[in-house]
Amino acid sequence: MRRLSLVHRVGLVAGGVAALVGILFVAALFAILSLRHAESRESHSSDVTVATLRVRTLSADLESSLRGYVLSANPRFLALFRDARARVPGDVSHLRSLVHDDPPQRVRAASVAGELHAYLLDYAENVITIAQFSRAAARGPAAGSEGKRRIDEINGTLDGLLAAENQRTHRASAHAQSVTNVAVAVGIGAIVVSSALVLLFGAWVARAVARPVRRVAAAAADVAAGDLTVRLEGGGAAEVAALVTAFNSMTGSLELGRHQLLEQNEQLREGERHKRDLISMVSHELRTPLAAVLGFTALLLERDFPPDEQRRYLEIIDTQARRLAALAGDFLDVQLLAGGDLTLVLTSFDLVELVREQAQLFFLEPSSHHLVLDVPGEPLVIEGDRDRLSQVVGNLLSNAIKYSPQGEEVRVSVRSVGDDAIVAVADDGIGIDREDAAHVFEQFFRAADAAATVGGTGLGLAVARDIVTSHDGTLEVESTPGVGSTFVLSLPLGARRAVVGAEQNAPSRQ
């Protein structure tokens, strides 16, 4: 789910507040309209009331002027009656037009019109005619009660009309009141909800912004104090989440950087240890042959020996001096290999011949160990650096002699398997346990048993493995502690793939 940004959230809340304020305005507008409606209704009702009262006055005028004329026979009363009668159509039709929209009132107004009409035609005109002929008959009780009955009927209908109009006005104003009440309630509610929303939003902003900022500040203080493992938990608005992500990636890369520095430091320290080991090993390894060289030289200089003994001691000096030279060569090789400066001088040569040569060199008669050599009759031609590969085979032979008891067999075989030439050197020596076998090709590694008993630099096999690898070959060991070890050297037969590259670099070579 995508996190909403603070800007979006503020927008949403503002929209909510605006909607509530809108509801407030609509409610207020509705209340105002309702009040206006009630007001116009009220003024219409008062118009109706006025018109009704006018008709009532009219009916009273008609009745009193008629009665006056009958009692006094004064023509002034007759003129008043005629005058009132002339107003009847206008006033009645005014009232009828006012209540035209209101069916029950319209019915009442119509019946008022009908009753007035009946009063005038069926009663008043007859009474006037009778009075002109017989004043006494017109003044009789029957005529008087009939007139009163008709007028009362008209007034009753008019009262009904008035009462209905009053009731209507009252209902309209009550409705306007209740609408106003609802509008006020809605308005107050909207204000309360808006205020609550604004307050809540403020609190939320404080929570969503201030709290993560405080957390980041605290974490930054931890980082400043050196704790680079600090990580913040995600959450909150998009901006806060982005800040948290940036912070975490910052501490992550700081930690990684520190880890790399520590690792480099450790590597440097490891290198330093190696160098110390090398110096210590060099001084130790040089001392034994040096002791022989210096000792025999001093003896030869100080004492007289028979010629054959002199010769023997000189031979020892020669051998030990060569050993010193070989050691110096090993150390140089290690330096070259470590610096990647080893250059191979490539030639095609017979591997069988090389192995035979080295075997003769290491198993000079009389030899401490018995050599069993198993090589094919035909040559196995490979391309490589002959001197370097001689060094490798020589190293394997000298190890076999060094790490197996005197008089034991050392079995050396050469054969071709597929596209590879295989040289195997097997001894019946102290062997190497599984754990150590994994490390024998590492610089300065010496199996615990070997280190305690047999002199060595811990460099020979490391150098040998590097040389073989640079020939695209492999050097492996199989060993059983107490039974013996077999080192297997495998080199590609014929022209090497690397030579193709060399030809491209050196076009003069065909």
Which residues are CB-contacts of 210 (< 8 A; sequence separation ≥ 6)?
none
* Least distance in angstroms from the C-beta of 305 to other proteins: 8
* Least distance in angstroms from the C-beta of 284 to other proteins: 5
* Least distance in angstroms from the C-beta of 456 to other proteins: 10
Q: Where would I find the H helices in 140-237?
A: 141-205, 211-224
For the record, the structure tokens of 381 come out as 């031609």
Quickly count: other Cβ atoms within 10 Å of residue 230's Cβ: 17
Residues 265-294 interacting with other proteins (rule: CB under 8 A): 283-285, 287-294
Quickly count: other Cβ atoms within 10 Å of residue 289's Cβ: 21
- Reference 465, options 388, 375, 402; nearest CA is 388
Residues 318-337 interacting with other proteins (rule: CB under 8 A): 319-320
Alpha-carbon gap, residue 440 to 427, rounded angstroms:
16
If the CB atoms of residues 224 and 452 are measured against other proteins, the closer one turns out to be 452
Q: How far is CA 296 from the centre of its chain?
A: 79
* Least distance in angstroms from the C-beta of 431 to other proteins: 14
If the CB atoms of residues 375 and 410 are measured against other proteins, the closer one turns out to be 410
- Residue 417, interface with other proteins (CB under 8 A)? no
* Least distance in angstroms from the C-beta of 232 to other proteins: 52
Taking CB under 8 A as the criterion, the residue among 296, 331, 349, 487 binding other proteins is 296
If the CB atoms of residues 147 and 289 are measured against other proteins, the closer one turns out to be 289
- Reference 323, options 287, 364, 275; nearest CA is 287
* Least distance in angstroms from the C-beta of 453 to other proteins: 4
* Least distance in angstroms from the C-beta of 502 to other proteins: 43
Residues 445-484 interacting with other proteins (rule: CB under 8 A): 452-455
Residue 429 DSSP code: S
If the CB atoms of residues 33 and 298 are measured against other proteins, the closer one turns out to be 298
- Residue 313, interface with other proteins (CB under 8 A)? yes
* Least distance in angstroms from the C-beta of 362 to other proteins: 16
Positive or negative: CA dihedral 202, 207, 210, 212: negative
Query: With the CA atoms of 116, 118, 124 and 127 taken in that order, what torsion angle do they form, in degrees rounded to the nearest 10?
Result: -160
Using CB under 8 A as the binding criterion, the count of chain residues that bind other proteins stands at 25
* Least distance in angstroms from the C-beta of 316 to other proteins: 5
For the record, the structure tokens of 368 come out as 């401490």
Please report the DSSP string for 325-342 in residue order.
Answer: HHHHHHHHHHHHHHHT--
Which residues are CB-contacts of 155 (< 8 A; sequence separation ≥ 6)?
56, 59
Please report the DSSP string for 304-370 in residue order.
Answer: ---HHHHHHHHHHHHHHHHHHHHHHHHHHHHHHHHHT------EEEEHHHHHHHHHHHHTPSS-SSE
* Site of interaction with other proteins (CB under 8 A): 283-285, 287-296, 298-299, 302-303, 313, 316, 319-320, 452-455
